[in-house]
Structure 1
Amino acid sequence: MAQSSRKINMADVARAAGVSMATASRALNNESGVSEATRRRVRAVAEELSYVVSPEASRLAGGATGRVAVVVPHISRWFFATLLEGLESVLRAAELDVLLYHVDGIEDRHDFFQRLPARRKVDAVVVLAFPVGEEEQRRLELMGVTIIAAGGQHAPYPNVSIDDETAGRQAVDHLLFLGHRRIAMIAAVDPDQPDEVQPSGRSNAYYAALREAGIPLDERLVVTVDWGGAEGADAMAKLLSQPEPPTAVYAHSDEVALGAIRTLRRAGLRVPEDISVIGIDDHPIAELTDLTTVRQPVREQGERAGRMLLKILQGEETDRDVVVPTQLVIRGTTAPPRA
């Protein structure tokens, strides 16, 4: 096709493809209501004419922007980075752009929800492992776009996650099955998030498992620390200072568990001969260190959240509350207690 020196617009694409402007817009913005054959024809014409969809023009016209905002509290940590990688791979394949909002700390969080920098610039918001409070929910809803979550949250959005309480029960029940009765818990909280939105499923699992096993709760065996390996090491030191230390330790994450193991080894104790340790997540380093853990498929959660979002944006039916199963992975840091 011949092209003039003037800038090509959507009307040119629609005319050349033999469709209406509305159909051309839906095809180029990956909206529903267009057959696959028509979508391919319109895109082929747009490519031949070197036409590029303007997100701003599309937005002002009331159409899709082709952008998705992703809100994440930490991007340097393995869990969040892997979750984001899975989500982005699906959205990229669908030709959707990702706007990343790194909300790291209480002040960043407050600023984001006050300003809502993504407002009117995106088709959807994905909240990654980011529990949202009631006031924050109201702020997000002002955007008037689809909101979904992945990796754990406490808001009424379509979501993909594991069941933290189930994962915790898999860990504690394993220790009980081995014969342990004096089981400690190192609970981890995120210091960068408000107390009222801290998840509690992994702690609930511990209390429920002991209660069902008829084991009285010893509060001295519960230590709560900030999330991290060094913090896990400090928590283990506190547990060892008890008159009767535990025979097993349940940690909320693998990083915390590995910190605990460092303290045990420096104290001259053997794992698992003297004390068993189990974590949750199956961090890549867990296999290298032979850590018994409960595996959660992190990248899969991101991918499934991406596919869920695409179906919602296209007006298709989809499950809106997806729980991805976890799996006990027995390695070398758990064993029956010494006789």
Structure 2
Amino acid sequence: MIASSIEDVAAAAKVSTATVSRAIRGLPRVSPQTRERILAIASEMGYVASSAASGLATGRTRTIGVLAPYVSRWFFSRAIEGVDVALQENQYNLMLINLAGYGGGRERLFEHTMLRKQIDALVVLCLALLPSELEHLHKTEIPLVAVGGPVKGFHQVCIDDYQVAQLATQHLIDLGHTRIAQVLGEDKNQLNFAVPKLRDKAFEETLLAAGLQFRKEWELDGDFTVAGGVRAAEHLFDAPGERPTAIFCASDEMALGVMMEAERRGIRVPQDLSVVGIDNHEFAAPAGLTTVAQNPVEQGRLAAEMLLNELSGKADAVHSVAAPFHLLRRSSTAPPSR
């Protein structure tokens, strides 16, 4: 005899489905005799509890949400992958909430998706939330953690973006470059990213600390994409006057775009132009790109594991973690030509 549902077991045991769920989950308010009888019947019928059935007794959905500003960009997709790895290992589901798809409907998103108990916990990827959104989340009392950048009011798993940009910029300075441009990613969609501002500030202050000139005209937006890097390079290479000998890019995708445009114009990397990025994108090594490496898969996995531990009852499982980073020297940087 094979059970097709929890209702089959409940009917055979002559108890409610909630009692079956509690018995199978080992939860209280089920007598030892009843639990033993239910387990024997479930075993005989070959019944395996689903996450939905378990939720009847626990009030849990066994689903963790991931709130992302984008899903197509490298960091976000890799971090989501890391979250999903941890959830699959623990028989949890992932609900992806793509903020870019909601346009101006952010308020409705938080009111309906978050407050209607569709998720047990939430990972926020690299996004500062509005006061009203934070208020909605706090009402849910679900565990929260941020990945990829500081989010006010959250514990976080992320690199120190200021130190990362400082390390990349200082690498160019140590090589002897004095004419250094920057390609950064601006917050055009007003999603309140803290990361671009931190990296921009570190670049400027590192130049000034070394006694070098910060040129506003050499600060260009690359939109954190390869195409944006190409556009920024076009603007920079077409500008009159002297050119920079090095470019700091706030992401590898933009750096790869700069290198593509340089090659198209016959500008040699690194003989004529040094380029450094941030991330260690999978295309960085084949392209020979020097970069400050981080691991968003590991960051996402760690965040999910902390949330799972919190849900299992471990006190203070969710806490802030400084993710590691390091400079990978490749062939895209060298001392400037004399």
Q: TM-score of the superposition, structure 2-length normalised?
A: 0.83
Query: Could you say if the C-alpha distance between residues 4 and 66 of structure 1 is closer, same or farther in structure 2, counting changes exceeding 3 Å?
Result: closer
Instruction: Please state if 1:127 is matched with 2:128.
Output: no
Query: Could you say if the C-alpha distance between residues 297 and 51 of structure 1 is closer, same or farther in structure 2, counting changes exceeding 3 Å?
Result: closer
Query: Could you say if the C-alpha distance between residues 165 and 51 of structure 1 is closer, same or farther in structure 2, counting changes exceeding 3 Å?
Result: same
In structure 2, what is the equivalent of residue 69 of structure 1?
65
Matches of 1:221 and 1:165, distance apart in 2: 19
Question: Contact 1:251–1:278 at 8 Å: present in 2 too?
Answer: yes
* 1:47-86 → structure 2 map (5 Å cutoff): 49=45, 50-53=47-50, 55=52, 58=55, 63-86=59-82
Matches of 1:11 and 1:159, distance apart in 2: 48
Aligned-residue RMSD, C-alpha: 3.2
Matches of 1:144 and 1:220, distance apart in 2: 47
Q: CA deviation at 1:237?
A: 2.1
In structure 1, what is the equivalent of residue 266 of structure 2?
268
Matches of 1:296 and 1:272, distance apart in 2: 23
Query: Could you say if the C-alpha distance between residues 48 and 82 of structure 1 is closer, same or farther in structure 2, counting changes exceeding 3 Å?
Result: farther
Q: CA deviation at 1:72?
A: 1.9
Could you list the per-position Cα deviations for residues 59-88 of structure 1 after superposition, in whole angstroms to 9, with x for gaps in the alignment?
5x5632212122222223332222111111
Instruction: Please state if 1:188 is matched with 2:189.
Output: no
Amino acid at match of 1:86: G
Matches of 1:243 and 1:273, distance apart in 2: 19
Q: CA deviation at 1:203?
A: 1.0
Could you list the per-position Cα deviations for residues 246-301 of structure 1 after superposition, in whole angstroms to 9, with x for gaps in the alignment?
11000011111111112222222111111101111111111111111111111111
Question: Contact 1:13–1:24 at 8 Å: present in 2 too?
Answer: no
Instruction: Please state if 1:97 is matched with 2:93.
Output: yes
In structure 2, what is the equivalent of residue 206 of structure 1?
203
Q: CA deviation at 1:133?
A: 2.7
Q: CA deviation at 1:123?
A: 1.2
In structure 1, what is the equivalent of residue 224 of structure 2?
227
* 1:133-212 → structure 2 map (5 Å cutoff): 133-191=130-188, 193-194=189-190, 196-199=192-195, 200-212=197-209
Matches of 2:10 and 2:115, distance apart in 1: 26
Amino acid at match of 2:9: I
Question: Contact 1:8–1:51 at 8 Å: present in 2 too?
Answer: no
Gaps of 5+ in 2: 29-37
In structure 2, what is the equivalent of residue 318 of structure 1?
317
Structure 2 counterpart SS, 1:250: strand
Structure 1 counterpart SS, 2:324: coil
In structure 2, what is the equivalent of residue 38 of structure 1?
none
Q: CA deviation at 1:113?
A: 2.7
Question: Contact 2:307–2:317 at 8 Å: present in 1 too?
Answer: no
Question: Contact 1:14–1:24 at 8 Å: present in 2 too?
Answer: no
Structure 2 counterpart SS, 1:278: strand
Q: CA deviation at 1:47?
A: 5.5
Query: Could you say if the C-alpha distance between residues 100 and 2 of structure 1 is closer, same or farther in structure 2, counting changes exceeding 3 Å?
Result: closer
In structure 1, what is the equivalent of residue 303 of structure 2?
305
Matches of 2:96 and 2:117, distance apart in 1: 15
Query: Could you say if the C-alpha distance between residues 54 and 167 of structure 1 is closer, same or farther in structure 2, counting changes exceeding 3 Å?
Result: closer
Matches of 1:256 and 1:176, distance apart in 2: 20
Question: Contact 1:133–1:197 at 8 Å: present in 2 too?
Answer: no
In structure 2, what is the equivalent of residue 292 of structure 1?
290
Q: CA deviation at 1:331?
A: 0.7
Amino acid at match of 1:265: E
Q: Decide which of 248, 256, 269 is 1:250's aligned counterpart.
A: 248
Matches of 1:104 and 1:314, distance apart in 2: 32
Question: Contact 1:25–1:63 at 8 Å: present in 2 too?
Answer: no
Amino acid at match of 1:77: R
Instruction: Please state if 1:116 is matched with 2:113.
Output: yes
Question: Contact 1:183–1:250 at 8 Å: present in 2 too?
Answer: yes
114-123 or 239-248: which moved more? Answer: 114-123
